[in-house]
Amino acid sequence: MTSRESPYPPGSAAFPHRDLVGIDVLQPHEILFLLDEAAQWVELGRRPTKHDDRLAGLTIINAFFENSTRTLLSFEIAGKRLGADVVNMHAAQSSIKKGETLIDTAMTLNAMHADAIVIRHGSSGAVQLIADKVDCPVLNAGDGQHEHPTQALLDALTIRNAKGRIDGLTVVICGDILHSRVARSNILCLTSLGARVRVCAPPALMPAGIEEMKVEVFHDFNTAIEGVDVVMMLRLQMERMEGEFIPSPREYRHLYGLTEERLARTSPDTLVMHPGPMNRGIEIDSTVADLVDRSLITRQVEMGVAIRMACLDVLTRRTRKVEGWQ
């Protein structure tokens, strides 16, 4: 087992959880363990031949009840690179549309003897509900406004690779914090690893009581961006908004968009991130998103596959009876 940052307990004690539903239950050394595990998969992904068949014979079901492009693709590629049989289930094809309850879906997936189930669902808590009913590891690929743990892990890996550390950095997360599971998981992950996290949003898009998550709250982006190491922009989640949350996209860009002028307020080594999908010209300008030396956006996608490989590998070690993990 590799260990670059801290000595880990051996085997299963390094990662005692069956599921990955949220960052909230992870200890800092458990997060670092997953990041370290991902390093080998970053390397594998850059080779012409990208196969490691340690999950051969295992079945992974990606059950996506909400639309997704990169997360679904990333989990699919991750499972396939590890040699598993990967099956994707889209909500549109499922019996959910015919009124099957979530519990019935869980029982059905369980009866198929999946070895890992990856779930994205529009309701916060739905993934835990399914995890409680099935016998295999469950990975949360985003549940409502709750958590998106693999996104936070891939973001942490991206930052650590670019900056060499996370501890002591200042990261500002700007945008629709209220509706964002990415923001929640990132706040938990980055603060747990010793970063200072600022959140910035118009008052209507800032959740009440967010200070309790050990973040500094800003409503003025020009102030929030000063002195930061990383700027993480979030999409306006229109599909989760009922009613008027922002005056107009134009006004929003003026106050909260990451433009070249605004980025110029930061130091030249301040890096830019966005989980995607981007609304170019609203929360982030194309000229900023495509900056070769400062934008980590495509790097995030690359790290996403590696992190998901690490999570699938680690969580199936008990099933595979890997030494020290029985």
Shortest Cβ 319–ligand NCD spacing (Å): 26
Nearer to ligand NCD (CB atom), residue 213 or residue 322: 213
**Shortest Å, Cβ 66 to ligand NCD:** 7
19 touches 315 (CB < 8 A): yes
C-alpha–C-alpha distance, residues 270 and 23, integer Å: 25
- Rounded-to-integer distance, Cα 166 and Cα 194, Å: 7
Q: How far is the CB of 156 from ligand NCD (least distance, A)?
A: 15
Shortest distance, position 1 Cβ to ligand NCD, whole Å: 29
CB of 265 to ligand NCD, least distance (A): 24
* Nearest Cα residue to 154 out of 144, 172, 166: 166
CA dihedral 46, 149, 180, 271 (to 10 degrees): -40
Nearer to ligand NCD, 14 or 199 (CB): 199
Minimum gap (Å) between residue 93 Cβ and ligand NCD: 20
- Assigned token pair, 15: 């990662």
Closer CB to ligand NCD, 58 or 156, in the complex: 156
14 vs 72, beta carbon nearer ligand NCD = 72
In the complex with ligand NCD, which residue's Cβ is closer, 76 or 115? 76
Residue closest to 5 by CA, chosen among 154, 155, 156: 156
Question: What's the Cα-to-Cα distance from 200 to each of 23, 81, 128, 231, rounded to whole Å?
Answer: 21, 38, 29, 10
Q: Quick one: DSSP state of residue 13?
A: G
Residues forming the site for ligand NCD (CB under 6 A): 70-71, 142, 148, 151, 181-182, 235, 237, 275-276
Asked if omega into 277 is within 30° of 0 (cis), the reply is yes
Closest separation in Å from C-beta 236 to ligand NCD: 8
Q: Which residues are CB-neighbours of 296 under 8 A, at least 6 positions away?
A: 158, 159, 162, 271, 272, 273
Q: Which is nearer to ligand NCD, 202 or 275 (CB)?
A: 275
Residue (31 or 303) nearer to ligand NCD, CB: 303
